[in-house]
Each structure stands twice: as C-alpha cells, then as structure tokens.
Amino acid sequence: MSLDQRSSAILRALTKTSSCISVEELMKFAHVSKRTIYYDVKKINSWLQETGLYPLQYVRGAGYFLDEETKRSVEKEEIISSYDYSPRERVAWTAIIIFIREKEIYLHDLMMYLKVSRNTMLDDVKKLKKILSAFQLELRASKTTGYIIRGEEEQKRKSLSCFLQEIIVKEGREGFEEKLAHYAPSFLEELTTMFALFIESEQELSLKFTDDVLYMLSVNTLLFLKRMKRGKWIKIDSVEKNVLKETKEFQSAKTIAEKLSKKWSILFQEDEVYYLTTHLLGSKVNDFTTHNLEQKDFSFFRTIVRSMVTDFQKYACVMFRNEKEVEHNLLIHLRPAFYRVKYGLPVDNPLSHTIQSTYKDVYNITKKVVHHVEKAAHNKMSEDEIAYIAIHFGGWMRKEGTVPAKRKKALIVCASGVGTSRMLETQLYSLFSTVDFQTTVSLREYETMPLHVDFVVSTVSIPNRGCPVFLVNPILTEGEKASLLKKVSTIIEDGHVLSHSVEGIMDLIREHAKIQDEKLLYQKLKEHLYQPILHGKGERSKPVLSDLLIKENINLKESPLSWQEAIRYAAIPLLENGDIQEEYIKAMIKNVEELGPYIVITTDVAIPHARPEQGVNKLSMSLMTLSKSVSFSNKDRHRVQLVIVLAAIDNETHLKALSQLTTLLSERENVEKMINTDSKEEVIDLITKYSK
C-alpha cells in the first residue's frame, strides 16, 4: 500500500520528536478532524506492519509515539517509493520535469514518473495551464516536441522557483532530492558543487546567507544552468545593468559564473551574470551589517527604513525605546527584500497565513507602511514579504522590556533568517523566565560551533550533540507553548522531589508490568507529572473599540485655543477617572514639541499618545470634537477638529481597538459625522458598528 501526503507528513513528524504527540496536536498539525487523524493512524499502522515494523504506540492522556528502533528503520526506509503525490504536488512536479527536461516529454512519460492514470494526468495538465497563465506562460504539446512551455524566459524561471519552493517546503530537502534524482541522476553531485560555490561567495561578500536561502540559491542556479545548456537565455534591460554593475554582488556573480563555466563547460552570457546578481541581492542573510553597504546604498535604505518605523509607530500608537536598533535590524532584512520586490523574485513564507491570522493587527499596520518600499522598487510587495516585515515589528513590540533571567542557557537554531528568529526569540523569552537564550544561529553554525548550553530549540530537524533538542514552529500556538513548557520544565526545574515521585511509580510498574523501554517511560512520567500552567504567559485579551471609547470619555464641540489645550481638554476624562496621571498629558505635549505633528494621522484627526511608563494607570481612550479646528503646525494639513487620546499599557493590548478605529476613520463620512454631530449617542452608535 501507499501513504498519502498527510499520512507521510504525520509519520515524519513522529520520527522527529522524542516525546508523545497528542491527537489534538496532530489535528492542528494536519488541519483535520479527530476522526481523520484516527483514520490516518490506522493507515500508518497498516503501512508499518506491511513494512515489518512496530505500529504506533499510544499512551493514554499523552498521545502517539514511535519506539526508537522503528524511528531508525522508518528514516532508513524509502518511504518516498511508496508515496502518493497530492494533486498540487503532481502539478508542481509536472512543471519542474518539463522545465528541466533534457529530451522530449510526452503524456506517457509524465504518467510513468508520477504513477497516475491518463485521465488524472490530463486533469493535472489542465490545472498547470491555468497556473502558468498567471505568469504569462502557455503550455503546449505536439507529437514532435512533446510538452513545451512558451513565454519569456524570466517568467519561466520565476514560475520554476515558485514550484520548487512549494515542493521543498512540503516535502523537505531529503524528499525533494530523492525525487529529483529520479528524473536527473547527477543532481545530488552537482548540487554539492553548487553549494560549495555559494559558500565561497559568502566569504567574498563578507556575509552569511540563511540556510534556506543558500539551499534555494544552489537549487535554482543548478536548474537554471540546465536551461542555459539548452540555449534558454535571460535578457536584462540595459539601464538595469548599469545599476547592477555597481554592486558588490555583481563582482561575486562574475566569479561564480566563471567557475560554473569551467565546471559545466558552458559560456555564460553577460545577461546571465546580471540575472545571478539579482538573486544574490535578493537573498536573505543572517549577519549582514551596515559595513557591507556602500554609503549611497546605506543612505537610500536607511531613509526607507526610518520612514517605515516612523509610520508604524504612528499607526500603532507606540514608541519604541530602542528605535535605532529596530531600524538597524529592519535594514538587515529590507535590503534583500527590496531587490526581491524590485525584480519580482518569488519568496515563500510558510508562516504567512499564521501571521495574518494570529497577528492580524500588526500585519494590517505593516501593510500600511510598506508603500515606502513599493514606491522605491516600482513594484507591489507580496503578502509573504509583508508577513516577514510584520514579524520584525511584532518581534520588537514583544521584546521591549523583557530581560531573561540567567539561570539556564539555551540556543535557538533557525534556518529562515533574522525576522523569523526575532519572533521566536520573543516568544521564548516570555515563556521561560529562568532561561537565558544566548543567541540564534543557522544550522551550519550549529553543526560546527562549541556547544555550552542546557538545551536547544530549533525550527529545523538537527542532530543531537549531547544536549536535548526541542523542535518547534517559528510561531507557537498556545497548545504548542504549553507542550514545550511541559517538556523543557523537566530540564530547567529542580527535579529532586519529582525524581523521587517518578522512581516510586517506576518501582510500582516494575512489580506489576513488563517495561519495554525504561528510559522512555521515565521521561514520559516526568512530563506527565510536571504540567505547569501558563500563568499569564498567553495572549493578553485585547478589548474592542467600544470597550475603551465609552460615553463618559467623549466630549463634543469644545473650544480650545491651541493644540496644547486641545490635548489637555481631550485627556481630562481619563485624568479624572484615574486612568492617567498629569505627567502623561505633559509627555504627550512634549512629544509633539520635540517630534513634530506626527500624531495627525489623517485629515482633521489627531491621536495624541506617549509611552505607557509616562503616567498610564489603565488602558483607556477618550474622544473630543472641536467647534473650530486648531493647528498642530503652520501647515493646513495639520489642522485638527477631532482629537482621540490613547493611553496604552504596553505595545500590544490596544492594537485591536486601534485597528477598528483606523477602519472607522478611513471612511471620510464617518469623520465628518462625528465632527458635526451634537449627539454622543450618535458617536457611540458609530463606534459600536466598528467594534465587532
């Protein structure tokens, strides 16, 4: 029998963990119902038994696990040979096979490679035609040429990169390499050579690519090379070539091209060197510093970053304490992101959907500030790119003010780059108050560095080097946090009393039952007995707009004589309620004096605010309309007739209400209605409408 995509993924997950995985965790992992999980478990067990291996073991209250011998056997078994492709995988592999073909590919070849019927293959071809049309490409077939894809070479490579990313994310590197080696036997050997060339280029550019990027650079370039050998060349605009020629990456691309020419006996055309330059420019790095930038580049990107950070603070009504550090870390990510946007290079962010749903407020604010990049790049930014930038802002909002206690030492291994690691760091800081997370490293750094930590948390499967390794997703759900906390607690807590209890239970079990694996049972008992509760470490509840803008905090048709009075008058309800202190009003006024009218967020509307520690006692908001506008500068666009004071207690709790307020204010008629009305009830009705 064969395993389908989901069952194979579940089995692989079970081989990578040292503890049980509960049914609930498997449901979240596979995004299916409990009934479907039981069906998949039955299918996996049948496959294991057919293969001569022990089935999945189940521990009541804990979940499923594989014994160590079965894990080793499963990892050695060629699961790939009995693997059923999903429809999406078949379509992606169909495209890849056609793109890198070294001979004519016909329908029967695809049927043989993908092990499907004629009708299924025809249906997949139809789906592929539709996807390729989005890249302005056309799939054709004839008796003499077989399947061919027509269109611009640049679009062909762009679509090829997208198909490759989809396959590698779903199947992992090992699964991808095994399958591709079936179509191109020399692939693995050639990939190793390509990998080495890009590692050399890291040294020349004085930077380190992330593990994922280094791998994708190597795979993409190798497959592009196969197209070049068939005379499929790229064309680059002459004006763009003059820009690319001035970069360090162009010199490195020339060196790589020379080495590739010798190794593969192919003469690189000049435009291909420029094309390789765009890929180097668009590649995420781990430790890029501003010293790597030419002065003109540094000024260019710093201007964009400063505008983004300033706007983000304005729209989120937050003030970063370490604004320069926020800008520096965003600059590291922004440079390659800018070139990906500019040249339309695809990027796959498997966390995009999670970020958009779990951190919706931060994502929506980020969407409002990326226009600075889009304007400079003359191109739109994808949702995946926006999600990566949202990770940066979200990570810093959570990190500010958190200092981990230095009791135990841990290391984070992350293959995805600065932004993803920042988000994971801040989650782990808030989760483990007694752990000092020393640094975040790539997989390659982990494999070679001295290891002086108590445990390792990793987003990728890594070898155990003598201390426990915990495999996690970059963004943790509450269930995943609880599970990780439970497992790590058996390491970081004083286990004297716990060990005594576990030993007592072990003695009872030995008396009345046969223990197959004492070490594993001991670990599982520790995890089960020590189940700490997430005391306040989960997401703080976020009130809606109507919870904060209550009738008592609204004043209409007031007549302040200056913008300073406007801020003070608007804040009086909060001061009288004890929600803020007098120093908060002074801080709001001082901010405008020092930073300018940044609080004027749209026509006629200002949202004064300061930092939480400057006199906020309780999360609150107030609203005031003016009978006549006051100006926050000598410019007409800074005249205001609606003032909404925000008193935030941290960088996050107010974001939901603020997002709802932003939506309300985005409709000009809503602003005019509030300014012109004499009825508080009418304002309240409008607020309630947007508080769902």
Domains for the chain: give ranges and CATH numbers: 5-76 (1.10.10.10), 86-169 (1.10.10.10), 184-285 (1.10.1790.10), 296-399 (1.10.1790.10), 409-493 (3.40.50.2300), 545-690 (3.40.930.10)
Phi, psi dihedrals of residue 627, rounded to the nearest 5°: -70, -30
User: Can you give the pLDDT at residue 526?
Assistant: 61
- How far is the first Cα of the chain from the last one, in angstroms, to the nearest whole number? 50
The DSSP output letter for 526 is H
Q: How far is CA 129 from CA 113, 115, 122, 140, 307, in A?
A: 19, 20, 11, 9, 41
Token couple for 424: 């994971």
**Above 50 in pLDDT, residue 497?**
no
User: Can you give the pLDDT at residue 84?
Assistant: 62
How far apart are alpha carbons 205 and 208 in whole angstroms? 8
User: Can you give the pLDDT at residue 639?
Assistant: 94
436-492 pLDDT, tens digit each: 787 788 888 888 888 888 899 988 778 888 888 888 877 676 677 777 887 777 666
Q: Mean pLDDT throughout 397-425? A: 65
Q: Look-up: residue for tokens 């976020």?
A: 542
CB burial readout 335-352, b (16+ within 10 A) else e: bbbbbbbbbebbbbbbbb
> Which residue in the list 279, 372, 609, 654 is annotated as catalytic?
609
Nearest to 487 by CA among 25, 27, 12: 25
- Enter the pTM of the model: 0.57
How far apart are alpha carbons 457 and 488 in whole angstroms? 10
User: Can you give the pLDDT at residue 495?
Assistant: 42
How far apart are alpha carbons 276 and 253 in whole angstroms? 6
Q: pLDDT-derived band of residue 530, with 50, 70 and 90 as boundaries?
A: very low
Collapsing DSSP states into helix, strand and coil, what is residue 457?
strand
Q: How many CA atoms lie within 13 A of 638 on its CB side?
A: 12
Give the residue, 544 or 71, on which the prediction is more confident. Answer: 544
415's CB contacts (< 8 A; 6+ apart) are: 210, 211, 212, 442, 443, 459, 460
Beta bridge partners of 639: 631
**Above 90 in pLDDT, residue 514?**
no
Contact between residue 610 and residue 585 where contact means Cβ atoms under 8 Å apart: no
Beta bridge partners of 621: 646
Q: Mean pLDDT throughout 257-268? A: 88
- Residue 609 a catalytic site member: yes
What totals of helices (H) and strands (E) does the chain contain, helices first?
Answer: 30, 13
**Above 60 in pLDDT, residue 405?**
no
Contact between residue 44 and residue 3 where contact means Cβ atoms under 8 Å apart: yes
Q: Mean pLDDT throughout 593-622? A: 90
What distance lies between CA 202 and its chain's CA centroid?
A: 24
**Above 80 in pLDDT, residue 586?**
yes
308-325 pLDDT, tens digit each: 999 898 888 888 888 888
**Above 70 in pLDDT, residue 401?**
no
Token couple for 296: 């003109």
Considering only 42-51, 352-361, 577-586, 664-673, which range has the smallest mean pLDDT?
A: 352-361
The DSSP output letter for 682 is H
- Angle at the Cα of 71 from the Cα atoms of 69 and 77, rounded to 5 degrees: 100
235-255 pLDDT, tens digit each: 998 888 888 888 888 888 898
User: Can you give the pLDDT at residue 77?
Assistant: 58
**Above 90 in pLDDT, residue 433?**
no
What distance lies between CA 103 and its chain's CA centroid?
A: 39
**Above 60 in pLDDT, residue 660?**
yes
CB burial readout 108-133, b (16+ within 10 A) else e: ebbbebbebeeeebeebbeebeebbe
How far apart are alpha carbons 613 and 611 in whole angstroms? 6
How far apart are alpha carbons 582 and 615 in whole angstroms? 7
- Hey, which bits of 350-454 come out as E strands? 408-413, 435-441
Contact between residue 590 and residue 581 where contact means Cβ atoms under 8 Å apart: no
Nearest to 473 by CA among 169, 191, 224: 169
User: Can you give the pLDDT at residue 147?
Assistant: 95
Q: Look-up: residue for tokens 């003070």?
A: 568
Considering only 108-117, 145-154, 289-298, 610-619, which range has the smallest mean pLDDT?
A: 289-298
189-246 pLDDT, tens digit each: 889 889 888 888 777 767 677 788 888 889 999 999 989 988 999 999 888 888 888 8
User: Can you give the pLDDT at residue 493?
Assistant: 53
Contact between residue 600 and residue 635 where contact means Cβ atoms under 8 Å apart: no
Q: pLDDT-derived band of residue 669, with 50, 70 and 90 as boundaries?
A: very high
Type of residue found at 642: L
